[in-house]
Structures are given as C-alpha cells and as structure tokens.
Structure 1
Amino acid sequence: MPRGRRGVLETVMGGSAARTSHAQVVHALGKAIVAGEFPVGTTLPGDQELEARFGVSRTVLREAMKTLAAKGLVVPRARIGTRVTPREQWNLFDGDILTWHFAVGVDEDFLLHLSDIRLGFEPHAAALAARHASEADINQMMHLALAMGDPAHTPETLALADLRFHLSVMEASGNPFLRTVGSLIEAALAGVFKLSSPKADRIRIGDVAASHMRIVEEIRRRDEAGARRAMEAVIHVGRSRVTGVAEAP
C-alpha cells in the first residue's frame, strides 16, 4: 500500500481520515465531480464562492484546483473558469478518484472493469515473478499466503492480507511499472470486500489461502505459465463473486 496515506481499501473499510484544508477541498470537490454534482462540461463556481463554501484561502483553493487538474478532473480556462473534463480524461489509476467512486457508489460494470484490468496486469506480474523473484521474495509471498488462512480473520483483516499478498507479487515481478498499479488492485479488492459477509469469508478462508499458495508454488517452480494460470484463477473467483451478488434474487 502507498506509504504515508490511506489506501482505497482502508478508506472503504474505515471511512475518511482527518485531512488538511487542501486535502479537504480536493476530496469534497473531487467527490462532487465524480457524483455528478458538477456535471462534465460545466464550470465550477468562482473562487469567492468556493472560498466561502470551504472556509479556505485563495491560495489553498488554487492549490486544490491544481491537484484536481493533475488528476484529469478539471481544466482551467482563461476568462471562462475551471471546467469539468470528460470522464475519459480522468485518471482512473489514481487512488483518490477510485476512492471517490466507491464513496458515491459503484455498480457491477465498474467492478467488472476493475477485474478485467487486473487480468491484464496481475497474471503477467506472476509470470515475471516466476522469472525474477529471489528466494527472499518467494519466502515472503508464501508467508503472506499462509497468513491468509488464519481462522481468526475478519472480512477486514482478510481483505488487507489479500492486498498485501497481491502487492508482494507485483513487487517480485521486478517491473517498476507494475508496482504502480496497486491502487487498482486495492479498488478491486475493496469492491469484493463490500460484497462480502463475515460468515461467507470464514467458510472460504481455507480455500483462499490454498489458491494463493498455488500461485507461490508455481513461482517457486519457475513455471511462468503455471503462475499466470494460478493468478488468473484467483482473479476469476473474485469476479464470480461480483456477478453472483448481482444475479442474486
């Protein structure tokens, strides 16, 4: 998980943490944009109105606007104001934007898109880990997989253990670009977490640990194709939980 900030999964589980004035403005405006309070193509209220709304200085407000612009949500226009950009320009790899989507509510399609992108990244990361992982990396991944079998897990602690395992595989891949997609993995696991029940997770803890240990076993054997298949199987299980809840009466 990114150091020094709450990730998507922790925020979904525990709610929002205390923020600086700058972060509060970014969060409030970002969430409002994602929710459609400020629709695509519209211009945000002027500086004076927003300063009064949030009780912040113009400096804080302008820094917040720069942050939102860097995330692709808005673009400043001279003599026009700050306009909300089309959704296809938003940086959906950004952890804050993913968090705001969960805050306003995500649907099945959103979660399935997340599982699709995981299928694009994580099986290849597992294959690269089979090629590049050190013995220390493999031992760490096995330790994390075994930890997922702890019968004392709650849905919250199991989700965090799951996240730590998957991030360790991305790290062991040795590819620095793959290490940067952690927020996507967090968001996908957060979506599955929101669909979970404590009883269901207690029943399946043993299966979860075993399926993740299979990934590590294939990596230890240096079987790239086997590691890829084992990771795909785990992601498909999460995907089936999303569709299963959506299809339930």
Structure 2
Amino acid sequence: MAGVRRPDAPRIPGASVHTSLASEIGLRIVRGDYPPGTILPNEAKWSETFDVSRSAVREAIKMLMAKSLLASRPKIGSWVEPKERWNLLDRDVLSWYATSPDREVFLKTVQEFRHIIEPEATAFAAMRRTDEQMAEISQACREMGEATNLQERTRADTRFHLAILRASGNDLLVPGRPDRIRLQSSLRLYDTRAGRPAARPETARSDREEHPAAAAGCCAQRRAQAAREYRRRHPLALRPTDTRVRPGPTSTSP
C-alpha cells in the first residue's frame, strides 16, 4: 500500500529527517503510487507512517512543492501535480525516475535530450575554445581512456562533457553553478546506465577511447561541422557491457 512505510525505505546518510522523507514520498510519486491529481495523506498520517514529527512532514512537502511535484491549499491538503509541471531536470527527480518502472522510457528521454544539445555544443566548442579549454578537454579525454572502473570513467566522462560545454561559450550552457554540475553528472550517470544492446569488447573499447578522442580532435582542429556530424553519429556514452571498465561505486562528483 502506498501509505505504508516500506521496510527498506531509504535513508540518506547524514541527511535531515525531512530530506529523507521527501525522497521517500517523491519516489512513490514518480513511480506511480500516487498518480497526478491524488490527494496525499495528511500530516498526521505521514507522521504516523514514518514515525516523524509533523514539522518534518511539512518541510518534506515544501521540498516536493519546490520541485513542482506537489501543490497545496488550506482545507484541501497536498495533491500530485500533472506530470508536465514536474521539474524533470531536478537531480532528485532524475534519481527517482532512474529507479521507477518507466526507467527505460526515462533513459531514452535523457539520451534524446543529450542528442539535441551536444552536437551543437561541440561544434561551438570547436569554433570558440581557448588553448586552456582545449587542454582541459584533452586531459579529460585521456582520463576516460585510462579509467579502470566505472566510477573513474564516469567522473572523467563528466569532466569531458563539462569542458566541452564551457568551451562552447554559450552562457546558458556554461555549467558554472554547482547545481548545473550536479545535473550534468546525473545525466551522464543515468545515460551510462541505459539498457543498450550488448557491445562486443572491441566495440566497447572503441566507444571508450576512439570516439572521445575523435571529438576532441575536431575541437583541436577547429572543425565545427565535423565535430557536429561526428557527435550526431557517435553519441559519447558508456556502454554498461564494457568488459574492461569494471563496475565500482556510483558516485559521480566531478
């Protein structure tokens, strides 16, 4: 039942009670336990279900309202907003989606989002990058090829794409704020986990080393059109079946 606390209800290490509670309720909303339009249990019921204070429940609801998952009105309570109003680029919402029953649909959406943005960003990077930015792109590219586990690979992969976005020179793409960096890390991780068809070891090695190097080479030579077309043909994402890159912790802090 949606109102009953799961025995394995998540607790975020070091997080406050209301943050942990918001995560649990948010996950239930995203996975469909509470469809849009559903009136949620009141403060007293949540407090009893999770053995937390009413003030913690209120703060959790405020957090979910800030992510546009919920709306609230006096004498009515809190209800789930239509999906189109949800802040799907919020890192928490992304993480909840990545574990929902619609995970594969969500991951496809993440890939499409990247494919819309990244080819043009790479083309602009080829035209506008400075020598310092090119050095940053090249360094991250080398680290991707040298990675020995998934954690190292994902961190280098994130740095590589952040460097390209910075080199693009577009203020809306420049990920200078910590929340944008966290968002890019999340997008890279969730796309990395996408369920693509199995790749042969030689194909995985090519994805890991040749494709990023080719994109970096286009930037180094200032070949904008070549960079754009290459990124369209070869989206740079890890394949989970890469036999050389061994799974490790999933932290993606750049």
2:110 paired with 1:97: no
Deviation at 1:86, TM superposition (A): 1.0
- How many angstroms apart in 2 are the aligned matches of 1:181 and 1:231? 21
- Aligned match of 1:142: 138
Q: 1:167 aligns with which of 162, 167, 182?
A: 162
TM norm structure 1 = 0.78
Contact 1:163 1:186 in 2 (8 A): no
Matched pairs, number? 225
Letter in 1 for 2:214: R
User: Which residue among 65, 68, 72 is the counterpart of 2:64?
Assistant: 68
Per-residue CA distance 1:151-179 (angstroms, 9 max, x = gap): x5223432332222112212222323223
Contact 1:123 1:227 in 2 (8 A): yes
Say whether the 8 Å CA contact 1:167–1:182 is kept in structure 2: no
Q: Indicate the larger mover: 16-25 or 33-42.
A: 16-25
SS of equivalent residue, structure 2 residue 35: coil
Helix, strand or coil at the partner of 2:72? strand
Q: Encode CA deviations 1:97-127: one digit per residue, 9 max, x unaligned.
A: 1100112244433222211111111112112
- What runs of 5+ residues in structure 1 fail to find an aligned partner? 1-14, 243-249
Equivalent position of 2:107 in the other structure = 111
Provide closer, same or farther for how the CA distance between residues 147 and 191 of structure 1 changes in structure 2, counting only shifts above 3 A.
Answer: same
Q: Which residue of 2 aligns with 1:32?
A: 28
Task: Quote the sequence identity (%).
Answer: 29
> Which 4+ stretches in 1 moved above 6 angstroms?
196-199
Output the CA distance in 1 between the equivalents of 2:63 and 2:221: 45
Q: Summarize deviations over 1:186-207 as a string: whole Å, max 9, x none.
A: 3354243354899956862344
Q: CA RMSD in A?
A: 2.9
Structure 1 residues 135 and 142, CA, compared in 2 at 3 Å: closer, same or farther?
same
- The 1:184–1:92 alpha-carbon spacing in structure 2 relative to 1, beyond 3 Å, is farther
Instruction: Give the aligned partner of residue 43 of structure 2.
Output: 47
Question: 2: CA distance between counterparts of 1:56 and 1:202?
Answer: 52
Partner letter of residue 22 of structure 1? Answer: H
Partner of residue 120, structure 1: 116
Q: Distance in 1 between matches of 2:137 and 2:11?
A: 30
For the residue of structure 1 that corresponds to 2:78, the secondary structure is strand
Does the aligned pair in 2 maintain the 1:75–1:84 contact within 8 Å?
A: yes
When normalised by structure 2's length, the TM-score is 0.77
- Taking the aligned partners of 1:158 and 1:133, their CA distance within structure 2 comes to 24
Matched, 1:232 2:228: no
Matches within 5 A, 1:75-94: 75-94=71-90
Higher RCO (CA < 8 A, seq sep 6+): 1
1:3-18 equivalences in 2 (<5 Å): 17-18=12-13
* CA gap 1:196/1:160 in 2 versus in 1, 3 angstroms: farther
The question of whether the paired residues in 2 share the 8 Å contact of 1:130 and 1:222 is answered with yes
Distance 1:102 1:184 in 2: 15
- What's the secondary structure of 1:148's corresponding residue? helix
| Residue identity matched to 2:226 | G
1:129-166, Cα deviation, whole Å (9 max, x unpaired):
1232221111111111111112x522343233222211
